[in-house]
Amino acid sequence: MVEVGWPAPDFTLPDQDGHKVSLEDLRGKRTVLVFYPLDFSPVCTDQLNVYNEVLAELEAEGVQMYGVSVDSAYAHNAFQKHVGIRIPLLADFHPKAALAKAYGFYDERWGSSARALALIGPDLTIEWIHRSPSALEIPGANLIFDAVRAHAGTR
């Protein structure tokens, strides 16, 4: 499992529209990666709806957010449209869960990511990590804002 202060694991994943997003694309920005188990599940839908409601506030603070799950880009596209969220969704689909595994967030029992958050700084180092004790426990948006504000002005 990665730790605060370490370089963020490298990746290139397609988003819901099939466009490639790489770690290097995040350089110079503060980014929250939202690891969640699966599209269309009730708890994941609730979680992404909560974050979608505060997305404009995060963006006003210079933060970008990406959802990450083991679903395909096609499933992400349908999910994003169905739920009506603006958060870009990255497909950690093939090789399955490579990014979740790199972070130590892969849950072998369920074949999906654990529910976790990672704040990546503008220099691509990990500034903060939160892993929910249960897949049913949604990390509140307040945790994200607290982490972002704690690192404001750094790096």
Q: Strands, E, within the chain: which ranges?
A: 12-14, 20-22, 30-35, 63-69, 89-91, 106-107, 112-113, 116-120, 126-131
Task: Give the mean model confidence (pLDDT) for residues 139-154.
Answer: 90
- The pLDDT, as a whole number, for residue 153 is 67
CATH 3.40.30.10 fits 12-151, yes or no: yes
Does position 92 have pLDDT exceeding 60, yes or no? yes
Count CA atoms within 13 Å of residue 103 on its CB side: 32
The predicted model scores a pTM of 0.96
For residue 12, indicate whether it is catalytic. no
The active-site residue, picked from 44, 75, 116, 147, is: 44
Q: Which of the four pLDDT bands, split at 50, 70 and 90, describes residue 135?
A: confident
For 37-83, what is each residue's pLDDT tens digit? 999 999 999 999 999 999 999 999 999 999 999 999 999 999 999 99
